[in-house]
Amino acid sequence: MTFVGGLYRGPGIGRYGMWIRSEHANSHGKAHGGFLATVVDVAVSRGTRAFLADGSIVSTISMTLDYLEPADVGSWVEIAASVDRVGGRTVFTSARVTVGDLWVAKASAILARHRPR
């Protein structure tokens, strides 16, 4: 996230946000899909670690991201990540990406859970 910019943690577990800057944009002046995928991946991982609260490390096994609406440069984008199911070695999560009331994207991810020894 150092190269992408500041990802701010919001109130509660799994709530994050950041400003969409020009370096996050595609040639149309909208948030690039790869940028959104990176931010969602980080938010889901951080939110899952906070939810588990046992020192587990997680890594992404798979993630799907559906782009619903474009997001303009200068917009504040919010990511709400949630844990849907926790198994012994995997965690199933989902996230919604919004700008105000506009749904920009929705995601689901499966994470591998690595428990501390």
Confidence at 115, pLDDT banded by 50, 70, 90:
confident
pLDDT tens digits along 11-36:
889 999 999 999 999 999 999 999 99
Q: Which residues contact 92 (CB under 8 A, 6 or more apart)?
A: 83, 84, 85, 86, 108, 109, 110, 111
Full set of structural domains in the chain with CATH: 8-114 (3.10.129.10)
> What was the pLDDT predicted at 2?
66
pLDDT tens, residue by residue, 86-110: 999 999 999 999 999 999 999 999 9
What SS3 state is found at 51?
helix
pTM reported for the whole predicted model: 0.92
